[in-house]
Amino acid sequence: MADLAYHTMPDGRRIAHRFTLGAMSGEGPTVVFLPGYKSDMAGSKATALFDAAKALGRGALLLDYSGCGESSGYFADGTLSRWREEVLALIEKHCSGSLVLVGSSMGGWLMLLVAIALPPERIAGLVGVAPAPDFTDWGTAPADQVRLTAGETLLADNPYGPEPTPTYPGFWADGQAQRLLEGEIPLDCPVRLLHGQADGDVPWAISLRLAEALRSEAVQVTLIKDGDHRLSREADIALLRQAVGELAGWTR
């Protein structure tokens, strides 16, 4: 892994990231991995892609959103808009050419928002792993939406750790303003979506809805019958690397 570095945003936020330009500088798109909600760049999918890119001499960028991992700030202040701003700042700093954006769970939503914000010619492809666009809507019960609207923070059981998972009113309200699935998503690049049919967090039908909403005709959905939400088994990561490699032009 490349040495940890920090990028300081105008308001002082320090965004931890790792970047490798690759020995074959300028050849092929840079792969940018966007983690899920309360996740970070130390996960197995992110590190596997980074290591693969580095071994092939290709560019890759990992990051921790503010309030997550090694970045500064408070998770309670996080929103999709805020984290998109950080991703775009790091892309501007490090990446001059085309990109393959890879988003896991919430990162799959953020991947779409980042792609929409960039010039179309910069996006060589998108790879979503159990992508969760609009989860503030379909993933939040009506009664809980009322509580969030009133300014209440929700705490849910966390199957991945001892601490409950919070949903903050600010994140929820910003998410509701960033919904994409009800209309056409104006992206024309190739898209690959990987989703486990045993996913207990994001229904695999969301990937089908996303495929339908995308304007692109080059969308492929791969369903893994026994796959869970994380899709972090060795076979799952091999599928991810294959999908990313296809769009990034990795040849070995």
| Residue 197, token pair as written in the block | 């049919």
Strand partners, 6: 16
Confidence of residue 22 (pLDDT cuts 50, 70, 90): confident
* pLDDT tens digit sequence for 105-132: 999 999 999 999 999 999 999 999 999 9
Catalytic residue flag (residue 195): no
Residue 25 annotated to the active site: no
Report yes or no on whether pTM surpasses 0.75. Answer: yes
C-alpha pair distances (Å), 22 with each of 26, 70, 95, 220: 8, 23, 12, 28
Catalytic residue, chosen from 134, 174, 199, 236, is 199
Instruction: Pick the catalytic residue from 66, 71, 105, 207.
Output: 105
Q: What pLDDT is attached to residue 40?
A: 97
Q: CA separation (Å) from 165 to 75, 153, 224, 230, 235? A: 11, 10, 26, 16, 28
Q: Model confidence at 88, in pLDDT bands (50, 70, 90)?
A: very high
**pLDDT of res. 2:** 54
- Say if CB 131 and CB 111 are below 8 A apart: yes
Let me know if 229 is a catalytic residue.
yes
Count of CB atoms situated within 10 Å of the CB of 20? 21
Q: For residue range 31-59, list pLDDT tens digits in order.
A: 999 999 999 999 999 999 999 999 999 99
5-131+188-248 CATH fold: Rossmann fold (3.40.50)
Predicted pLDDT at 71: 98
